[in-house]
Structure 1
Amino acid sequence: MSTEPINLPDDALRAIDALSRTDHLLVASDFDGTMAPIVDVPADARTDPQTQVALAELAGLAATTVAVVSGRALDVLAELTALPSSVHLVGSHGVEFDSDFSAGLTDEERARLAELNRQADDLAARFPGLFVEKKPASTALHYRHVAADARDAAVDAIQRGPCVIPGVHLTAGKQVVEIAAIETSKGLALERLREIDGATAVVFLGDDVTDESAFVRLSAPDVGVKVGEGKTAADVRIPDTAAVARFLTELAARRREHLGA
């Protein structure tokens, strides 16, 4: 394995320099495909070790807030990231800010979620390989491992079934559809985090189409960082999770220098 340093693009370096000097910085990141490489078995995903060190270091600095905003359920996210308690964890695409969130659903929302889960289980029985990930206020249907000759039929069944339950909210990702019993998005979660901590600048890193709801809510001096290919509203693009590790390490170093820590 090469030990050569990863060179970041010039616009990424300029963004790091500007972000490091803001009064109160909010550093937020998606998990899968950003902090951790995409893997075939979701439970096997783990944060890049260098990224984990950089985020922990940033969270320990003054006037600096760190958050992970992911589609994962909150309890799963906590297990997979293994970050210090000073890092905010937001699960289910911005729904879960605490582990007791499901207790706050209305009777109507709980009934909607129950019907969503019933239909999802029926689809999993029809289409081998369809993985149903149940969360406190939503359900994700992963069709990555459905046989290629059945995948289109599975997607069509999802779109004609649980996706049209009255009142649900959809988030499409990479070979997954997240269906929520309430309105949610990573963008709304990011706005809430900004307000809680009074951030003067936000940087958000993400790789999936679900991260675009966060990117579109950013404006100068905020910075959106798109990881990998694809159309995006982000300001900066970097290639992969290794570049994410380098970006966050550089940001931690310059932020520490600016603060005199």
Structure 2
Amino acid sequence: MTVPGAVSWRAALALAAPDLRRRPCLVITDFDGTISRIGLDPWGARPEPLAQRALRRLAATPGVEVVLLSGRTAPDLAGRVRVGGATYLGNHGLEHGFLPRGARAESLVVVADPTHDGFSADAERLAMEVPAAIGEPWLIVERKPPAVTFWFRTAPDIAAAARQVRAVVDRLDPNERFERFPLRRALELRPPGATAKRDAFATLLRERRPALVVLIGDDRSDAEAFAVLRVARDARDLTGLAVAVHTHPDVSPAVAAEADAMLASPRETARFLSGLARGLARAAAPGRRPGRSG
């Protein structure tokens, strides 16, 4: 299927090709809809095998750091991606952990931001009371304290399910203690001011001070991080490439507008990452001098 506005993985990679010798390099990717296809069951998501292999190769390349940045919890994310030598930022950056090469994903040590711990009890209360009030098998609850997400991907009428979930949440949280974030076929509740992907990405830039960044994602929260990258790039602090991935016709154009290129699917992302791994490995070969300037 042809996706309007999408480019081939080779065309996207060509945009980064002149800068592949720059180090340190930071490769950051979302999970759902980016390296994993969106399915009806969020618990059935798996990365594209080629993407998984490419991330492992990238993580083993000198001067390259791989970061997975997702709305999923860090343990859940690591358990699905299973790439050692990578950093896992879960819950939009509220959690972080590094998985050494050769370590089991289940051994990931996660450090959580304690700022919003006071919301965890209410998040759990809503995680129990909302499905009890709705009483439908299509509702899936994703617990990720201090936040919670209610998925309705398999509801027979998505629009009606969205209205029903929102109405129940508003009744059970009348004072709007939690911010509401409508997602594709889901409603996420988060504490006001909780870390978002843009914040987590900005922190990475401050702490890592990369010379080259490749940032990949598919939704509006990723687009906000793309905007942070653009500001840093315009300030000549680094060279970077923002890559959007098409997953939904109602969302992807807005995300693509903030990106340098858009790929047609997670499978194309996998091919892009594989090509990027080869290019960065060649640039790191003996005899080539890495640099910070183009």
Q: Do structure 1's residue 227 and structure 2's residue 225 form an aligned pair?
A: no
Matched residues in 2 for 1:21 and 1:168: separation? Answer: 44
Q: How far 1:186 moved relative to its partner?
A: 1.0
| SS of corresponding position for 1:124 | helix
- Distance of 1:46 and 1:225 partners within structure 2: 20
Aligned to 1:29: 29
TM-score by length of 2: 0.77
Q: Which secondary structure does the structure 2 equivalent of 1:52 belong to?
A: helix
Query: Secondary structure of the equivalent of 2:254?
Result: coil
Whether 1:93 aligns to 2:92 is: yes
The Cα shift of 1:10 comes to 6.4
**Percent identity between the two aligned chains:** 27
Runs of 4+ in 1 over 3 A off after TM superposition: 98-102, 161-172
> Quick one: distance in 2 between partners of 1:222 and 1:158?
42
* 1:104-157 deviation line (CA, Å, top 9, x unaligned): 535xx3342322332342221222122221113211111223341741432431
Q: Provide the C-alpha distance between the structure 1 equivalents of 2:92 and 2:172, rounded to a whole number of angstroms.
A: 18
Aligned Cα root-mean-square deviation (Å): 2.4
Q: How does 1:59-70 map to 2 (within 5 A)?
A: 59-70=59-70
SS in 2 for 1:16: helix
Distance 1:67 1:77 in 2: 11
Q: Quote the offset at 1:100 in angstroms.
A: 4.7
Answer yes or no: is the 8 Å Cα contact 2:52–2:83 preserved in 1: yes
The residue aligned with 2:130 is 123
Helix, strand or coil: the match of 1:72? Answer: coil
* Structure 1 residue 52, shift from structure 2 partner: 0.8
Task: Report whether the alignment pairs 1:12 with 2:12.
Answer: yes
Letter in 2 for 1:130: L
Is the deviation greater in 163-172 or in 70-79?
A: 163-172
8 Å Cα contact 2:123-2:145 kept in structure 1: no
Give the number of equivalent residue pairs. 251
What's the counterpart of residue 113 of structure 1?
120
Q: Cα distance, 1:159 vs. partner?
A: 5.9
Secondary structure at 1:203's aligned position in 2?
strand
TM superposition shift of 1:223: 1.2
CA distance in 1, matches of 2:143, 2:95: 13
Where in structure 2 are there 5+ consecutive unaligned residues?
A: 1-6, 98-108, 234-238, 247-251, 287-294
Hey, what's the Cα distance between the residues in 1 that align with 2:267 and 2:130?
37
